[in-house]
Amino acid sequence: MTNIEYRNYVGGRFVQTTRSFGDVDPATGAVRAFVHEADDSLVAEAVESARKSLRGPWGKATIEQRAAVLDRIAAGIDARAADFLGAEVGDTGKPAEVAKALDIPRGAANFRTFANLIRMASGEMYESATPDGAGALNYTIRRPLGVVGVISPWNLPLLLFTWKVAPALACGNAIVAKPSEETPGTATLLAEVMHEAGVPEGVFNLVHGFGANSTGEAIVKSQGIDGLTFTGESKTGATIMRQAAEGVRPVSFELGGKNAALVFADCDFDKAVEGVARSTFFNTGQVCLCTERVYVERPIFERFVTALAQRAKAMRIGDPWDAQTQLGPLISREHREKVLSYYQLARQEGAEIVVGGGVPDLPGPQSGGWYIEPTIWTGLTQRARCVQEEVFGPVCNVMPFDDESEAVDLANDSAYGLASVIWTTNLTRAHRLAGLIDVGLVWLNTWFLRDLRTPFGGSKLSGLGREGGRHSLDFYSELKNVCIKL
């Protein structure tokens, strides 16, 4: 029986509620913590504390004071890295080696990056002519949006939560944030770090719960929220957008993907196979940027499928704390049912299952986890639902193409527009195609290589707006123009 409890953090206090739900370890299926669900009145209290904090010292803090707070939070995450690792691996089942290398350091890096970016942020200034010849000066001031609602998903919990909280704080906002109900752990530890780092009360509020008819919806519908940033499914984004229209509040959305990799015959073959295996199976396929559609130039198609299948077969599935493990479980029983329903649908749609397609038989505690086999399909048509709909699991369909323009058409034949990868040694072609693919992010001969100053986001169903670097500052603040007659 677990004694871990994740509480809400409202107005600078950790708050218990009368309703709680279990937080399940997906690697074993066991309940690892209890989470105190915030009801509408606690959300309203969180919004009110956030508003109040903007009228206090936080509303008057200088950029340097805010940046120093962010640096202290980053140091706090570093100092408690082992706790963060335990919570992140416990909540997601992802291999500890991955969380150690990516999720936890990135949580701290998000705060350091936005501390530095806000220190360096510049405004606009114009000298203007006036009829009397004296002239005028116009300059801009960056003001916070106010109270920002942050709603995040479960796949990269700390990374995505801090990716929004850090720039929102850097810009001087107050926050009411809800992590996914599946992964409440690291967000709760972050509240402790904020508390210890001296974030004034009410500036950061954490409320736990579900989405529709629960905490998430209460945040979205609260008229005390001045802007909303959301990462999650495209359908949820559409619902939130409708609700946020009341009050005309700005939204920033990072949504789903059905991302294509284009592999040309002139690629560095081994690097391309390794790269596509990584972009398909990383985090058990649960990254919005993961590849689910692979288009391979016909002369190397068979060889590529064989090599990719060998990689998939060799993947070590199992205990996330074993340093050899490469593939953890899916996040939940429901999500595994969804992914398995696509494995079934692919058969009905005529796929050849090159590898995988089922559930592995694991020994020990992991026999109760939500594991699934890495899977490769061939033979599906472009119109198949399995080629058009986001699965969000460790699976891709591989299809041949004959020339560059067909490859671009296939990549663009999707309702989503998040990310693409092009594998070729012809750099002229790489740059030409990068401009032609309808997505927000293109990687050439690499994948998920991130510079936090760059714009991040998708087109079509994949999102609205860009975050990252100055684009985050632009979303989390408003520019005010000041004009003075000289």
Active-site positions read: 254, 288
In the set 58, 163, 230, 476, which binds ligand 6OD (CB under 6 A)?
A: 163
Query: Is the CB of 391 or the CB of 399 nearer to ligand NAD?
Result: 391
Neighbours of 29 (CB within 10 A): 17
Closest-CA residue to 3 (of 20, 15, 18) = 20
Q: How many residues does the chain have?
A: 486
Is 288 near ligand 6OD (CB under 6 A)? Answer: yes
Task: Report in angstroms how near the CB of residue 380 gets to ligand 6OD at its nearest.
Answer: 24
Min separation Cβ 314 and ligand NAD, Å: 27
Nearer to ligand 6OD, 408 or 421 (CB): 421
Judged by beta carbon distances under 5 to 8 A according to partner kind, the member of ligand 6OD, ligand NAD, none in contact with residue 163 is ligand 6OD
Q: What is the largest CA-CA distance in the chain?
A: 85
Do the beta carbons of residue 148 and residue 161 sit within 8 Å?
no
Q: Binding partner of residue 25 among ligand 6OD, ligand NAD, none, CB under 5 to 8 Å per kind? A: none
String marking each residue 444-463 x if it binds ligand 6OD according to CB under 6 A: ------x-----x-------
CB of 48 within 8 A of CB of 176? no
Smaller CB separation from ligand 6OD, 190 or 287: 287
Query: Which helix (H) or strand (E) is 431 found in, with range?
Result: helix 427-436
The position carrying tokens 């919570």 is 87
Alpha helices in 155-221 (DSSP H): 157-170, 185-196, 215-221
Q: Which is nearer to ligand 6OD, 357 or 394 (CB)?
A: 394
Minimum gap (Å) between residue 215 Cβ and ligand NAD: 7
Give the Cα separation of 338 and 322 in Å (integer): 27
Q: Is 38 in the site for ligand 6OD (CB under 6 A)?
A: no
Nearer to ligand NAD, 152 or 173 (CB): 152
Q: Which amino acid is it at 97?
A: E
- Give φ, ψ of 431 to 5 degrees: -70, -40
In whole angstroms, how close is the CB of 458 to ligand 6OD at the nearest point? 10
C-beta of 454: minimal distance to ligand 6OD in Å? 9
- Residues 238 and 475: their CA atoms lie apart, in Å, by 19
Name the CA radius of gyration of the chain, rounded: 23
Which residues have a Cβ under 8 Å from the Cβ of 150 and sit 6 or more positions away? Answer: 161, 164, 165, 168, 175, 176, 177, 178, 229
Nearer to ligand 6OD, 84 or 447 (CB): 447
Query: Which spans of this chain sit near ligand NAD (rule: CB under 6 A)?
Result: 151-155, 160, 178, 180-181, 210-212, 216-217, 220, 231-233, 236, 239-240, 254-257, 288, 390, 392, 418, 458, 462-463
Q: Report the partner that residue 178 touches, choosing among ligand NAD, ligand 6OD, none (CB closer than 5 to 8 A by kind).
A: ligand NAD
Tokens encoding 290: 């993961």
Phi, psi of 290 (to 5 degrees): -60, 150
The C-alpha angle with vertex 328 and arms to 236 and 390, in degrees rounded to 5, equals 30
Q: Which residue is nearest to ligand 6OD (CB)?
A: 288
User: What does 210 bind: ligand 6OD, ligand NAD, none (CB cut-off 5 to 8 Å by kind)?
Assistant: ligand NAD
User: Is residue 443 within the footprint of ligand 6OD (CB under 6 A)?
Assistant: no
In the complex, the smallest distance separating the C-beta of residue 203 from ligand 6OD, rounded to whole angstroms, is 23
CB of 467 to ligand 6OD, least distance (A): 7
Q: Between 42 and 289, whose beta carbon lies closer to ligand 6OD?
A: 289
Q: Give the E-state strand segments of 48-170 in sequence order.
A: 125-128, 136-144, 147-151
The 244-273 site mask, x for binding ligand 6OD (CB under 6 A), equals ----------x-------------------
By C-beta, is 76 or 149 nearer to ligand NAD?
Answer: 149
Q: Does 155 bind ligand 6OD (CB under 6 A)?
A: yes
How is residue 478 written in tokens?
């408003």
Of 87-95, 152-160, 293-301, 353-361: span binding ligand 6OD (CB under 6 A): 152-160
Hey, what long-range contacts does 379-384 have (CB within 8 A, 24 or more apart)? Answer: 379/350, 379/351, 379/352, 380/346, 380/349, 380/350, 380/351, 381/349, 381/350, 382/410, 382/413, 384/346, 384/349, 384/350, 384/351
Contacting positions for ligand 6OD (CB under 6 A)? 155-156, 160, 163, 254, 287-289, 450, 456
